[in-house]
Chains A and B, each alone.
Chain A
Amino acid sequence: MVRVLVVDDHPMWRDAVARDLGDAGFDVVGTAGDGDQAVRVAKATRPEVAVLDLNLPGLSGVEVARQLAAADPPCRVLVLSASGEQADVLAAVTAGATGYLMKSASRDELVDAVRRTADGDPVFTPGLAGLLLGEYRRLATTPGGASTPELTERETEVLRFVAKGLTYKEIAERLVLSHRTVQNHVQNTLTKLQLHNKAQLVRYAMEQGLDD
């Protein structure tokens, strides 16, 4: 059974999500109502997947995503958040979250998303794909040297299709690729950004003399 942690500051919503996931066969090992509690509970219960709301009191949702993704063993983070928090969603995903679902998603979509997150597949919404396209564009126009991540033409093509609502299956048909290849392209767009973010943090730490 996949061990899941549910983090949301609204008790009613938190309980509903936890119950849905429990009914679907997941092992909900803990719930948390604020950022600091989330990190504490995760240390004690070692979940494989955290379903994380970004709008949290205390430690920010983005910071929670960063700490959980960097934990040992790592916990995969699925952001389940309201619309209108686009900048936070992008920050959480670059910090290590591997999926994003809007709160308006149905129960089936949620269950499916948690399952895919547990399997290590990224969960993309069109909204997230649009954010990533924008972020790559921003990085390309900001001077950052050779380390700036870039998308291949194919990756950009795939990401644009995701942003326009096509399923992986539809994309595979249009581009005459295998489903797995499409999935890999999507995964790459995310991994490049996360690696870049991590490298930036390390470089920053070295410049500040914080590395030990």
Chain B
Amino acid sequence: MPTGLDRALWRAVAAFRVLSLGYAGGLIVHHRHLYDRPVVAWSVLGGMAVWTVLATKLYAVRAPHPGALLLVIDLTLAVGAVLATRAALSADRIAAGDPTLPVAWAAAPVLAWGVAAGPLGGALAGLAVSAADLVERWSAPSEATINGVVLLLLGGLVVGYVVQLARAAQAQLARAVQIEAATRERDRLAARIHDSVLQVLALVARRGGEIGGDAAELGRLAGEQEIALRTLVASPPQATQAGSSDLRALLTPYASSTVSVAAPAESVLLSTDAARDVADAVAAALDNVARHAGAGARAWVLVEDEGTAVVVTVRDDGEGFALGRLEEAAGSGRLGVDRSIRGRIRALGGDLAVTSSPGVGTEVEMRVPRTHQG
């Protein structure tokens, strides 16, 4: 399938061919009295006219890949038309600098090669036509001839290069359009999921809990999937200043049927590294709850922005422990995770406060100063 760009390029080559044919025709009519053998000139003009029509059709039909045969025939005919000048004009007139019979028309295949085969193709075709020009005037190559050669070579190169650029730009545009379509599709899916799938999952979670037994387990699973899917389709958090992250975006995914996450409505910015460390510390604290607080323990995460510091609290309603036994607990490995929490928060220049008592649960408060941004 030829793209719009390919069709436009071949139309441009065809236009060049027709216009340059007009120019060549005009010159031949104007110089008709100067030819030694006018019949050769008229024949060449006729041939050029026939090939202009044929080539336009053939290139249009075979776009975007005209094929080597068509390109070679095109180039051969142009070279032939240039060489035929010798048969029409006397050596004196050629030496005097009279133009070749096809003049600019001979550049049409150079353009075609450039479009079809890039800068190298264009330059090669330019070389071939230039060679014919030079053979034509071998006896006395004028400055105009050298100019023509340079122009042909550069023309072939530049056309090939520009066409390559245009094709790359078009491919990029196509990719961008594709990405945009995919994004739109994702938004549409998110809206549909929000309207239907999430509602049904929430409904299953609720009904399951009411029926109890196995259904309650199914309901719990549906509820967890609802939260996971909601996090997935929620629009990505808005881009913040470079190097900083919204702590809320990192912590809300921890919400589940047993974990509540409370935070301000506005973003809580920390440097990306600090935000990740705090999120890791919260994950470790929640892991601690799951391991040690006992079955059915629930946890609450509270994020507060105090301006100069960010405070994150993780509380559970589990078994808890006597604070006097903190070191003992740490020794027994029970608070091993706590040490990793403490290490992370201290490294950020923050404080950690642990309060706990048996039967009431444990509360871990992490306070991290804001050092760089306000």
Contacts and interface: CB of A to CB of B under 8 A. Distances in A.
B231 A12 contact: no
Interface string B222-244: 01001100110010000000000
A137 B306 contact: yes
Given A86-B265, A104-B223, A130 B302 contact: yes
Interface string A18-53: 000000000000000000000000000000000000
B305 A12 contact: no
A160 B210 CA distance: 31
A82 B230 contact: yes
Interface residues of A, number: 35
A137 B304 CA distance: 9
A19 to B, nearest CB: 11
B252 A137 contact: no
A107 B313 CA distance: 29
A174 to B, nearest CB: 9
A139 to B, nearest CB: 11
B260 A125 contact: yes
A104 B202 contact: yes
B257 A104 contact: yes
Contacts of A82: 194, 198, 202, 230
A165 B298 contact: yes
User: Interface size class for chain B?
Assistant: 35 or more
Contacts of B304: 130, 133-134, 137, 160
B230 A10 contact: no
A13 B265 CA distance: 26
Contacts of A146: none
A12 B200 contact: yes
B338 interface: no
- Would you call the interface of chain B mostly helix, strand, loop, or mixed? mixed
A83 interface: yes
B209 to A, nearest CB: 5
A106 B230 contact: no
Contacts of A84: 230-231, 234, 252
A130 B200 contact: no
Nearest to B222: A104
B318 to A, nearest CB: 12
Interface string A96-132: 0000000111110000000000000000011111110
Contacts of B231: 84
A135 B200 contact: no
Q: Please name the 3 residue pairs, one residue from A and one from B, whose CB atoms are nearest each other, closest first.
A: A134-B264, A130-B262, A165-B300
Interface of A: 9-10, 12-13, 16, 55, 82-84, 86-87, 89-90, 103-107, 125-131, 133-135, 137-138, 141, 160, 163-165
Interface of B: 194-196, 198-200, 202-203, 205-207, 209-210, 223, 226-227, 230-231, 234, 252, 255, 257, 260-266, 298-300, 302-307, 313, 315, 317, 363
